[in-house]
């Protein structure tokens, strides 16, 4: 059974913007040794900005952006939002969209006026057998193809959250031994974020299922009494939130499915809110025992 004091702990947590779904999770937060974080929307703002449009010779920048905007018009992925913000051409007629498919970790496959538009990463191009150039861009590259033909790419950049570095050092001070980042984004972006934040490990180009596999592996390798936290913004994160010892969703951005699957919800959209959560857990334990 859970000591009564934990209810007080849950109350103090909520004052810090931390919603804990049970005293057992508050107790478990005392034993966190591994923190696994999703990149986009958790460590980074998740508000991408279009930095560059690079069409093939026979296409213009406007045409490239319009095709991408047509494909992304029904998506609520942060990448889609950035493309739609950058697009200021004529209004997109959603009635022309014949079919729409969002492929997790890849991008979009949309049929507009009987012609297929692809917008996504190199994995999507490979899957659909579209030849694409290899780039050395440092950022997220969204390739666009139209009717089987490569049109060009859009370079999108994200920003590390202002308080991410403080969160990382706060977690280390609280005894977290291993900080790991998981991302569906490309190797180059992952490497630069992980090295800027001085993380212990990162895994890039992961599909949602690969994130589950990676977390399962980390759980297998750890000491039985050490707990593993996964923190995500919720987009495609529900399975991995459920699989972790303590699944933590960033509340502000989080989808309903993620808030449902999470054990702890951080209402401040800041990674440092996890430091608050562990501090409340430690404080509560001192009162309870």
Residues taking part in catalysis: 38
Binding map of Mg ion across residues 213-242, x = CB under 5 A, - = no contact: ----------------------x-------
Q: How far is the CB of 80 from ligand ADP (least distance, A)?
A: 5
Question: Could you say whether residue 29 binds Mg ion (CB under 5 A)?
Answer: no
Total site size for Mg ion, rule CB under 5 A: 3
Nearer residue to ligand ADP within complex by CB, 216 or 226: 216
Question: Could you say whether residue 161 binds ligand ADP (CB under 6 A)?
Answer: no
Interface residue with ligand ADP, options 65, 79, 180, 240 (CB under 6 A): 79
Distance in angstroms (rounded) separating the CA atoms of residues 233 and 39: 9
Binding positions for ligand ADP, 39-68, rule CB under 6 A: 39-40
Distance in angstroms (rounded) separating the CA atoms of residues 32 and 280: 13
Nearer residue to ligand ADP within complex by CB, 102 or 245: 102
The first and second tokens of residue 204, run together, are: 């890039």
CA distances from 96 to 71, 73, 113, 265 (A): 11, 12, 5, 39
Question: Could you say whether residue 23 binds ligand ADP (CB under 6 A)?
Answer: no
Binding map of ligand ADP across residues 121-140, x = CB under 6 A, - = no contact: x------------------x
Nearer residue to ligand ADP within complex by CB, 26 or 64: 64
Number of neighbouring beta carbons within 10 Å of residue 47: 13
Binding positions for ligand ADP, 184-243, rule CB under 6 A: 184-185, 235-236
Interface residue with ligand ADP, options 13, 29, 34, 38 (CB under 6 A): 38
Number of neighbouring beta carbons within 10 Å of residue 127: 15
Alpha helices, DSSP H, located in 149-207: 164-173, 187-196
The contacts of residue 197 (CB under 8 Å, 6+ apart) are 43, 160, 164, 165, 168, 179, 181
Distance in angstroms (rounded) separating the CA atoms of residues 212 and 224: 19
User: Where do contacts with Mg ion occur on this chain (CB under 5 A)?
Assistant: 38, 40, 235
């Amino acid at each position: 059974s859970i000591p009564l004091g934990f209810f007080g702990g849950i109350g103090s947590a909520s004052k810090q913007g931390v919603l804990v779904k049970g005293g057992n999770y508050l107790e478990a937060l005392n034993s966190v040794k591994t923190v696994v974080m999703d990149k986009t929307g958790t460590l980074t703002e998740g508000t991408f900005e279009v930095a560059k449009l690079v069409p093939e010779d026979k296409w213009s920048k406007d045409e490239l952006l319009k095709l991408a905007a047509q494909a992304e018009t029904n998506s609520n992925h942060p990448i889609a939002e950035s493309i739609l913000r950058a697009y200021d051409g004529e209004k997109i007629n959603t009635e022309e969209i014949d079919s729409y498919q969002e492929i997790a970790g890849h991008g979009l496959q949309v049929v507009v006026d009987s012609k297929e538009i692809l917008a996504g990463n190199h994995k999507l191009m490979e899957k659909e057998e579209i030849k694409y150039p290899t780039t050395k861009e440092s950022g997220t590259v969204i390739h666009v193809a139209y009717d089987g033909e490569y049109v060009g790419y859009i370079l999108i950049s994200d920003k590390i959250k202002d308080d991410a570095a403080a969160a990382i050092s706060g977690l280390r001070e609280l005894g977290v031994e291993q900080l790991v980042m998981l991302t569906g984004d490309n190797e180059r972006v992952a490497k630069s974020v992980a090295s800027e934040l001085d993380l212990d490990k990162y895994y890039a180009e992961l599909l949602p299922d690969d994130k589950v596999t990676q977390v399962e592996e980390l759980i297998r390798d750890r000491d039985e009494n050490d707990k593993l936290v996964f923190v995500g913004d919720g987009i495609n994160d529900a399975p991995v939130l459920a699989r972790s010892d303590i699944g933590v969703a960033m509340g502000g951005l989080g989808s309903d499915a993620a808030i449902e699957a999470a054990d702890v919800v951080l209402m401040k959209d800041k990674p440092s809110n996890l430091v608050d959560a562990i501090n409340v857990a430690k404080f509560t334990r001192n009162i309870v025992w």
